[in-house]
Amino acid sequence: MRFEVPFNLEVDVICNSQVALSAALDALEKFSPDDLICKRPSPNPFQVFQQEVLSGNNVPRSFESDGYDDLESTRQTLNHFNRELQDVLQDQFSSKLQLQNDQVDTLIAQELERRQIEAERVRRAEEERKRKEEERKRQEQLELERKRKLELEAKRKAEEEKQRAECERKAKEEAEKQRQAEEAKKKAEEAKVKAEKDRQTKLALANQNKSITNYDSIAEKFAKYKQDIKDIKENVKVSMANNPPLTKLVNPYKRKLNAKFGQLSNSLAQWQAVQGVIHEVLEMASQAPDQLVFKWLLNFVAKAIIDQAETEVVTSPNMAVPLGMLAMKLLLSFPQLEYYLTARFVKKCPYILGYNCSIDTENGRYNMGWKRRDQNWEDEVKYEERVSGIASVWAVMTTLAPKDLSSEFWFYSMSNCWSFVARLLNLDSSLLLSTHFSIAANWWEAGAEHFANTYGKQAHKLLITLLTEWPLSVSNQKFAGAARLLIIGEEFMKTGKFEKLKPMEQ
């Protein structure tokens, strides 16, 4: 009969737990040979023992037995089984121990490898740290060296700049000394020339004072109008600029007036439309609670008239007619306009008043209406065209003035036209410029015919002198304005007809 070695659960636990061999044997000794004697033929005690204990993983050696053995045989068998079990357990223990040793060796090897890797990592980290530290120190050394070089270079450049600046300073001082010396010499020469010219001017003015023209009185009137301009600036323009509510109030009127002045043309219908709007705006302003509004708009209109004369009449001489008509119409409707308009006429074209002065100085040019932009005086031809255009508008206004014109409007009267022509003819030839003749030519086209009709034969000699003897007196100067006036004179002598501006279109 075949049966397996019986042992209980403790033996299996001991084997699974890899305990000492003596503990396994102690467990086996719990089973005595008497326990294995079967008193009944069935069931076989070894089979029962096997079923209760064996799990299937540990299979001991088997043996056969026929029938029931005696006690001695059983003991021998058990002893034999005991030895075999000891061998089995010894083998299993050795195997397990070897496995443990192998695992321990593996763990030790892994630990050693880990320690070696860690040691290598630490070594490399230390080497990297030392390398970075050396690199940092090297960079710091390089930076210090760079800074030192920069400081030396900056010091060198500063020294060079100092030397260069010193050289430039000395050169500038030398150049300035030379310039001052040359300028002093030039000023001395100019002073000498100016003194001689002033002497001649004074002599010419003295001769003028002996004539019927009182130039001292003209100078006083000119000073009065210049003061009016200053008063207008301070009391009207500045006052309005310092009053934001009023400024906001007049801005719409300003834009409306600007638009209308831009629409002015040689058409009578268009002129009436423009004049009607401007008249309406001024009428509304005259009723404003604060009269500063009305004054500011009157000054704006006066300035607009002169600006149009400076620009539009230059390119289109016939524009002097609608512009002069508009100015006279507004002047008669709003007498307060005279204060602003006359001051601007005199400021921009003092020739109308008969005022003249030398233009050798800045103040002299300013007084004679020259414009200066970007530190340079305007071109002489442009200046001549501007003031001639202004004179044309004034001349048209004199032809429209009613015979019973109030004395306060004398500036726009026909009698002032006589004074204007007489003052031109009485002016000393040394003071004449091409501008005087250009203004006279424009006046001729705008108002000479009306002047002749007003004064008849009394005006004939004056006009002939204006066209012939007067421009011929400066023939050596070759003035363009004088040449133009001579051409007008030749045509007038041939035809007896006045060259005049084109009238308004219906």
Q: What is the pLDDT of residues 397-408, one digit of tens each?
A: 999 999 888 888
pLDDT at residue 163, as a whole number: 87
341 versus 202: the higher-pLDDT residue is 341
| Banded model confidence at residue 196, pLDDT cuts 50, 70, 90 | low
Token representation of residue 468: 């012939």
Which helix H or strand E contains 372, and what residues bound it? strand 372-373
Among the listed ranges 116-120, 172-176, 336-340, 442-446, which one has the minimum average pLDDT value?
172-176
SS3 271: helix
pLDDT at residue 488, as a whole number: 94
Mean pLDDT across 418-434 = 91
426 versus 65: the higher-pLDDT residue is 426
| Banded model confidence at residue 365, pLDDT cuts 50, 70, 90 | very high
pLDDT at residue 492, as a whole number: 93
Q: Which domains does the chain have, with CATH numbers?
A: 2-118 (no CATH), 211-495 (1.25.40.510)
Burial class (CB in 10 A: 0-12, 13-18, 19+), 480: middle
Mean pLDDT across 56-72 = 49
Token representation of residue 442: 């424009």
pLDDT at residue 237, as a whole number: 94
Statement: the pTM of the whole predicted model exceeds 0.75 = no
- On whether the CB atoms of residues 16 and 53 are closer than 8 A, the answer is no
For 262-286, write each residue's pLDDT tens digit. Answer: 899 999 999 999 999 999 999 999 9
For 435-452, write each residue's pLDDT tens digit. Answer: 999 999 999 999 999 999
| Banded model confidence at residue 201, pLDDT cuts 50, 70, 90 | low
Look over the chain and give the mean of its residue pLDDT values, rounded to a whole number.
83
Q: SS3 helix, strand, coil % of the chain, rounded to 5?
A: 80, 0, 20
What is the DSSP pairing of strand 376-377 with strand 372-373? antiparallel
Cα gap 271→276, rounded to integer Å: 8
Q: Which residues pair with 373 in a beta bridge?
A: 376
SS3 162: helix
pLDDT at residue 222, as a whole number: 95
Token representation of residue 197: 């010219």
Cα gap 485→261, rounded to integer Å: 31
Mean pLDDT across 236-256 = 93
pLDDT at residue 1, as a whole number: 39
Among the listed ranges 183-187, 188-192, 204-208, 451-455, which one has the minimum average pLDDT value?
204-208
171 versus 36: the higher-pLDDT residue is 171
